[in-house]
Structure 1
């Protein structure tokens, strides 16, 4: 296992502890919607003041903002980034061998923050294994019977 990173000394003790505990967390969304041999599709849904804890991105991926909103993210290098999103906004990210990003995401707006994130399993890095309690839902998403009609 790679060496653990140290959290920012400027963060609260609780945030530092969470960073240490979750820096290999592969859950890049609040719910895994679908997975096949090529992709994992995640939903991120955060009500105002809700937060998605620290997680690690190692796979190439893109996200799409489904609704407008505002968020704050604590990055692995100690920086804190705030951003405003518009519906339909999209970003594509790529990671070379051994590259990754660890961050959290907090809804600092007045409306629900909703994203879809798609990870590509055939990226330069192997996918991190998902915890056994992560179940794909809704059932049937991405099945051969439905994908021809999308």
Structure 2
């Protein structure tokens, strides 16, 4: 996976009005895609996006792992202004820790081919951390 920053944090000059309105309205989802499996420790999500389909802004509260089942080109906007371009290759994977930071992003297939991704969201870690904060 190649990640290229195409807009820096704090710069909203290139953002369209529809995306800025979504942020202003603060109606963020916790859903990542379609749930394939869930227990008290994890959720297995699947994202399938046709060309130019987009997932709206969603709030990431738990750490997660991601694997791409297809090649593809995607755009992700963060409500902090940053926009990144992701060049996915089949088999690409990564792990992201976000249980202790606010991360609200969207995800859009900007390529000509469908994108298929699986995400394993860790539920235990977030609950454990929240419990230890009390």
TM range (shorter): 0.7 to 0.9
- Matched residue SS, 2:47: strand
Shift of 1:125: 5.5
Distance 1:125 1:101, change over 3 A: farther
**Counterpart position of 1:141:** none
Distance 1:45 1:89, change over 3 A: same
Pairs aligned (count): 119
Matches within 5 A, 1:25-104: 25-29=29-33, 31-97=34-100, 99-104=101-106
Shift of 1:11: 2.2
Q: In 1, distance between residues paired with 2:124 and 2:57?
A: 23
Does the Cα contact within 8 Å between 1:68 and 1:84 map onto a contact in 2?
yes
Length-normalised TM-score, structure 1: 0.71
Runs (4+) of structure 1 exceeding 3 A deviation are 7-10, 20-24
**Counterpart position of 2:120:** 118
Shift of 1:21: 3.7
RCO greater where, 1 or 2, for CA within 8 Å and sep 6 or more? Answer: 2
Q: Which has the higher helix share?
A: 2
Q: In 1, distance between residues paired with 2:112 and 2:31?
A: 25
What RMSD, in angstroms, separates the aligned Cα atoms of the two structures?
2.2
Q: In 1, distance between residues paired with 2:104 and 2:62?
A: 12
Distance 1:8 1:65, change over 3 A: same
**Counterpart position of 1:19:** 23
